[in-house]
Chains A and B, each alone.
Chain A
Amino acid sequence: MGRFWAIFFILAAVVTVGFSAIGPEFRWWFPGDGLAHSTLGKKIDDLFYLILIIVSVTYVGTHIVLGYVLWRGAGIQKSDKVWFSHGSHALEVIWTIVPSGILLFIAFYQMDVWRNYRVKAYFPKKTAAVAEVTARQFEWRIRYPAPGKILQPRPQPDDIYTVNDIRVPAGQPVSISLRSDDVQHAIFVPGLRVKQDAVPGLVIPVWFEVTDTGTYDMVCAELCGWGHYKMKAQVVASSEEEFEAWKVNAAKEQSYDGVPQTPEAVAAKADDE
């Protein structure tokens, strides 16, 4: 039976590795096309794959050893002598130093991505504050400054509002001010690798630079009550011009007064001016 169990554990390791390897085939991997669509996201992906390689090598390595140990251990008879050893100082030193080197490398290698992402002094110089995103149970309410204006901390009469729909220009660093109206929420845009909690009482700036225009799913990533899963939203990144045009249009729609714009009325208005 011993050999059977050795194979059992080896097979388990082989199956897990194989399963991970076929994952991307079935789209059990990063969402969408599998790529990050923000500048920081790309770096995060690079780090992810770096760790994945280190971890995979370690996993396979330790399991080869484990498999070997089990296979060999199963074959040792009662009459055989076992290796009587209380340990090896040299080995202990090696397997302390080597992993600590690798681990420290991982830690320090991550630092600047984190710094650029969160430390305000290292934000890109020309970050445009596009919107204030307020999370509430169970939706995202978004406030933009009127076309040509800059975002103010307090609502302005000409602000533009959307719900569950964040519009940003692509190709330039933008930031949103994240707030919460009630409990804690978290903004999570998988396609952009952006995540930040919205903490009641704080206004937290989140910056990102979308590299490709498109629509990205956005979800809530902090348990916020029964409707946690309902906070379905999207980030729409468009070109700067389209973004401005959208804003102008949205401002117009928001000031709709219900009076049909007949051609005569438009003409009359033109005459007045």
Chain B
Amino acid sequence: MSTVTPDVGHPGAGGHDHDSHGHHGHGHAEPSPLSLLWQLPTFSCDHKVIGLQFLITTLMMLMVGGALALGVRWQLAFPWERMPILGDTVFKADGGQIAPETYTMLVTMHASVMIFLVIIPILAGAFGNFLIPLQIGADDMAFPTLNMLSYWFMWPAIACFGASFFFGGGPAGGWTSYPLLSALQQAAPGSGMAQTLWLVGLTLIGVSSMMGSVNYMTTIINMRAPGMTLFRMPLTIWSMFITAILQAFALPVLTAAGFMLVADRTLGTCFFIPSGIVVNNAAPTVGGGQPLLWQHLFWFYSHPAVYIMLLPAMGMVSDMLACMSRKPIFGYKPMVYSMAAIAGLGFIVWGHHMFTSGMNPALGMTFMVSTILIALPSAVKTFNWLGTMWGGRLQFNAVMLNCIAFVSMFIIGGLSGIFMAAVPVDIYIHDTYFIVAHFHYVIFGATLFGCFGAIQFWFPKMFGRMMNDTLGQIHFAITFIAFNCTFFPMHLLGVAGFPRRYADPYHFPYLEHLLPLNQFMTIAAIIMGFAQFLLLANFFGSMFFGKRCGRNPWNANGLEWTTPSPPGHGNFDIPPVCYHGPYEYSSPLSHDNDFLPQTEYVPLAQRQAIAQAGH
């Protein structure tokens, strides 16, 4: 049996922890564990503080988005019955029974919060900020002030989203905001001021993301430590780099589209509005626009955004898997190329969201081929992860479990994607719960499990303390089981023709028998939701009560593990020099240890000897 608990490097207990706890051995003092935390309320330009600000904000938003999701699930399991909290307060006169536009609001805001305020910022914002300078050996980002602004632009966006709840019950056009529902003020209760605020919020998030991505690209290109060649970068950095490129090229389109939609709504332009449309007996529209244009523009960003929501997690999981398997990553270069391929193809697949929209059918064929092909790099990555674990000495701790879950869930999410890529099948599957199952498997099953792992993996670097592994494993087990109980049945619901965004699907006799299954899913979802308090308790509790650890509790190779935990301002004691790739675990070059830090110099002769031995 391998070691489950990580090597925590107590003073005096650290065996091979070459750069162990700072009280001894090294001349300079380790910073206090909470030194980053105390800087949270400041306009700090330190990338680590900004990363932590992002992380804690997104964790809070995760709970908000989760609460909204439970509202959705509640209505699906107990339609028109009293909804706790929301029903008791807002709909008291109706006996706690919510209105249908409230349901569409819950659906819309759950998606919006989760995508724009959780997944995108937790990956690029939190981990991107925290890890990029540390892993490439830089003392900070290229543009620290821009970086600081990128965080603080989140708050006006959060304020906009928050304020939108108070107009017409909240935006209810779906997170995709298809016109005309989103373009005409009268089209639905949430299509008024709420929708405008939502769009402004979205644009602000875009501004925040854009500032981040410019920064990441510049930093990664210009500020790598000596010896940190492109192909010695950890896959996390590669993924962040590719994500930043995706963001930088796709976001302007969405921003433009957002401005056009706001103009349609407020200035009377008609980019997306055809003529002669009457909603709610308002005056007919003058028109000349095309609703499909929005779909093209929106998905031109939002499809790459799907990879923005996935690639960084792929990178981080690669790092963690290699470390926890005590083995080099299998096929480093194919991993990089496949990420690049995903990003490249990601730009030419947006039309697969529009197969049933009535766009030119010839386009449907092209998009089908490109979409199906994007499964290929994903498959290659999966095989490489399996290859990485193959024959490794697996450390079954909470970090690893979350990473294995990532791989397993990503396989399900990826395979279910093939159904939708195939246009004829998509005709049936489109806008049913099959889609809902698919993207939750990718975004929650893969990305969020990856994030749970990453939080626990890099937590020691943030606070100089370990998170409780037992609690982490319990959290993982509950979340994993409840997650599958919630989302796996959705595949079958989708096949049964269960449409998305229905406040009351049981209105239709052919769906009535699915109610018990939905109640089961809702119970699972509630359990899953409450299990996240374990994560929060572990996260915040461990800041104060976690086991103290040294610089490199996981015996990992990356540059970040050579810094103090938490790193002080400027990160590194001495500017690091990088001698090899980040995944040299169990290398014959590392004599006693099963890891070989990137900073450890190995004479050329030895390296050549090993290379010739055929590794």
Asked whether the complex places CB atoms of A and B closer than 8 A, the reply is: yes
Q: Which residues of A contact B (CB under 8 A)?
A: 1-2, 5, 8-9, 12-13, 15-16, 19-20, 23, 26-32, 40-41, 43-44, 47-48, 51-52, 54-55, 58-59, 62-63, 65-66, 69-70, 72-78, 80-88, 91-92, 95-96, 99-100, 103-104, 106-108, 110-111, 113-115, 117-119, 137, 181-184, 186, 188, 190, 193-197, 199-202, 204, 217, 219-230, 232
Known: A30-B496, A84-B328. A107 touches B277 (CB 8 A): no
Q: Are B2 and A78 in contact, CB atoms less than 8 angstroms apart?
A: yes
Known: A62-B386, A66-B404. A118 touches B361 (CB 8 A): yes
Q: Which listed residue, B274, B407, B615, touches A85 by the CB 8 Å rule?
A: B615
Q: Are A226 and B188 in contact, CB atoms less than 8 angstroms apart?
A: yes
Known: A9-B404, A30-B497, A223-B178. A86 touches B372 (CB 8 A): no
B330 within 8 A of partner (CB): yes
Known: A23-B492, A86-B330. A196 touches B380 (CB 8 A): no
- B2 surroundings in chain A (CB, below 8 A): 2, 74, 76-78
| In the bound complex, CA of A63 to CA of B386 (Å) | 10
- B180 surroundings in chain A (CB, below 8 A): 182-184, 200
- B415 surroundings in chain A (CB, below 8 A): 55, 58-59
Q: Are B491 and A20 in contact, CB atoms less than 8 angstroms apart?
A: yes
Q: Which listed residue, B391, B411, B418, B497, touches A51 by the CB 8 Å rule?
A: B418
Q: Which listed residue, B275, B372, B495, B587, touches A29 by the CB 8 Å rule?
A: B495
Which single residue of chain B is at the shortest CB-CB distance from A199? B358
- B332 surroundings in chain A (CB, below 8 A): 86-87
Q: Are B507 and A232 in contact, CB atoms less than 8 angstroms apart?
A: yes
| In the bound complex, CA of A181 to CA of B292 (Å) | 16
B478 within 8 A of partner (CB): no
Q: Which residues of B contact A (CB under 8 A)?
A: 1-4, 99-101, 103-104, 107, 172-174, 178-181, 184, 187-189, 273-275, 277-279, 287, 289-292, 325-334, 356-358, 361-362, 364-365, 368-369, 372-373, 375-376, 379-380, 382-384, 386-387, 389-394, 396, 401, 404-405, 407-408, 411-412, 415-416, 418-419, 421-425, 427-428, 430-432, 477, 480-481, 484, 488-489, 491-493, 495-497, 499-505, 507-511, 513-514, 517, 583, 585-588, 594, 615
Q: Which listed residue, B279, B291, B517, B585, touches A137 by the CB 8 Å rule?
A: B279
- A78 surroundings in chain B (CB, below 8 A): 2-3, 393
- A52 surroundings in chain B (CB, below 8 A): 419
Q: Are A201 and B275 in contact, CB atoms less than 8 angstroms apart?
A: yes
> Can you list 9 pairs linking A and B with CB atoms under 8 Å apart?
A13-B408, A28-B517, A110-B423, A181-B278, A184-B291, A221-B432, A225-B172, A229-B499, A230-B507
Which one of B180, B273, B503 has the greatest number of beta carbons of chain A within 10 Å? B180
| In the bound complex, CA of A84 to CA of B388 (Å) | 10
Which 10 interchain pairs have the tightest Cβ spacing? A201-B274, A83-B391, A73-B394, A190-B497, A87-B331, A118-B361, A226-B101, A28-B492, A225-B188, A229-B502
Distance in Å: Cβ of A119 to nearest Cβ of chain B: 5
- B172 surroundings in chain A (CB, below 8 A): 225-226
| In the bound complex, CA of A87 to CA of B82 (Å) | 57
| In the bound complex, CA of A41 to CA of B427 (Å) | 10
Q: Are B424 and A114 in contact, CB atoms less than 8 angstroms apart?
A: yes
Known: A183-B279, A223-B174. A195 touches B104 (CB 8 A): no
Q: Are B375 and A44 in contact, CB atoms less than 8 angstroms apart?
A: no
Q: Are B492 and A82 in contact, CB atoms less than 8 angstroms apart?
A: no
Q: Are A188 and B499 in contact, CB atoms less than 8 angstroms apart?
A: yes
| In the bound complex, CA of A13 to CA of B287 (Å) | 52
Known: A28-B489, A30-B495. A82 touches B586 (CB 8 A): yes
- A182 surroundings in chain B (CB, below 8 A): 180, 184, 187, 277-279
Q: Which listed residue, A72, A195, A225, touches B430 by the CB 8 Å rule?
A: A195
Which single residue of chain A is at the shortest CB-CB distance from B505? A229
Known: A27-B513, A188-B431. A51 touches B389 (CB 8 A): no
| In the bound complex, CA of A226 to CA of B418 (Å) | 31
| Given A16-B412, A73-B325, A85-B330, 14 further pairs, Cβ under 8 A | A12-B481, A26-B513, A55-B416, A55-B419, A66-B407, A76-B394, A78-B393, A80-B393, A84-B327, A86-B328, A91-B383, A107-B369, A182-B184, A217-B509
Q: Which listed residue, A29, A117, A229, touches B496 by the CB 8 Å rule?
A: A29
- B587 surroundings in chain A (CB, below 8 A): 84
- A222 surroundings in chain B (CB, below 8 A): 178, 431
Q: Are B386 and A66 in contact, CB atoms less than 8 angstroms apart?
A: yes
Distance in Å: Cβ of A43 to nearest Cβ of chain B: 7
Q: Are B373 and A103 in contact, CB atoms less than 8 angstroms apart?
A: yes
Which single residue of chain B is at the shortest CB-CB distance from A226? B101
Q: Which listed residue, A27, A95, A195, A225, touches B427 by the CB 8 Å rule?
A: A195
Q: Are B393 and A91 in contact, CB atoms less than 8 angstroms apart?
A: no
Q: Are B401 and A5 in contact, CB atoms less than 8 angstroms apart?
A: yes
- A1 surroundings in chain B (CB, below 8 A): 1, 4, 396
Known: A32-B510, A58-B415. A44 touches B517 (CB 8 A): no
Known: A183-B184, A200-B291. A226 touches B327 (CB 8 A): no
Q: Which listed residue, B178, B428, B492, B500, touches A190 by the CB 8 Å rule?
A: B428
- B513 surroundings in chain A (CB, below 8 A): 26-27
Known: A2-B2, A12-B480, A196-B356. A44 touches B390 (CB 8 A): no
- A77 surroundings in chain B (CB, below 8 A): 1-2, 393
Q: Are A47 and B484 in contact, CB atoms less than 8 angstroms apart?
A: no
- A41 surroundings in chain B (CB, below 8 A): 428
| In the bound complex, CA of A48 to CA of B497 (Å) | 14
- A104 surroundings in chain B (CB, below 8 A): 369, 372-373
Q: Are A223 and B424 in contact, CB atoms less than 8 angstroms apart?
A: no
| In the bound complex, CA of A66 to CA of B388 (Å) | 11
